[in-house]
Amino acid sequence: MYFSTNDATYWYEIDGEGYPLVLLHGFTGSSETWQPFITKWKQEWQVITIDLPGHGKTNAKHKSMEACCRDIASLLQYLQLEPVHLLGYSMGGRTAIAFAISYPEWVNGIILESTSPGLEDLLERQKRKQADDELAKKIEQKGLAWFVSYWENIPLFSTQQKMSTNNQTRIRKERMRQSAVGLADSLRFMGTGTQRSYWNELASMDKPAFLITGELDQKYCVIMEKMSRILPNAVHHMVPDAGHAIHVEKPNIFGKIVSRHLESLT
């Protein structure tokens, strides 16, 4: 279904009834990312998936993180939902953090997979912005197929090469359904280098926070362990023999630990 607000049109899907659970995908993903889990989760919760700016069927150009969060708040208000539980992976996790800090009245809890509140150091942020801008230009110049081949081979996703051929093919197909223009736009306006840091505001997030990392993703294990010490009500769970995208590398384990966490809150 489509929802229009603030010069943008967002694609969202709703499955099931009950306590609302909003799922936010990562960079190069879409609502499709969460399909393997929806059949189970919709039996217990109302699952809402949203295509973020630059991805899937959403048409939302030049959206900053703050603007995207404002649009999500408008969507939740339109749907007349009670406060939700947010689950965000990577870019979707950054969005979930920004939303929970900006609109705490809409959030009852948060589940974060392999993500961060942004970059604390200004110089590091400037360097990342420059790198994101350069990558955005290459995507526009060389096209989507070039980028997908490049992206699936970066070190962050090296552990995905151990997955079955079918799973790797499914992920590649989802990435190939994106657009070069949309991904470049996302990097420029919602990238890690562009968004502001939310590190100093983590201490104000007193809702339950469940942090999930793969033990082979050492960079994010360190980041999220640091986050868990700052957040007032956080648990950090590391999944053995998994990398950055636990939900695709270890879907059965991921589904179970998320379900167990949500059940413990109700």
* Top-tier CATH class for 2-120+195-264: alpha beta
pLDDT of residue 6: 86
Average pLDDT, stretch 33-62?
A: 96
Residue in the structure block whose two tokens are 């190069």: 28
The predicted model gives 112-138 an average pLDDT of: 97
How many angstroms separate the most distant Cα atoms in the chain?
A: 49
pLDDT tens digits, 14-45? 999 999 999 999 999 999 999 999 999 999 99
Return the domain boundaries, the chain: 2-120+195-264
**pLDDT of the residue at 151:** 96
Given this model, what pLDDT does residue 265 score?
85
pLDDT at 104: 97
Per-residue pLDDT, 13: 98
For residues 60-71, give the mean pLDDT. Answer: 97
The whole-angstrom separation of Cα 237 and Cα 251 is 15
Indicate if the pLDDT at residue 266 is higher than 80.
Answer: no
Provide the whole-model pTM. Answer: 0.97
Contacts of 39 (CB under 8 A, 6+ apart): none
Interval 191-208: pLDDT, tens:
999 999 999 999 999 999
pLDDT at residue 252 greater than cutoff 90: yes
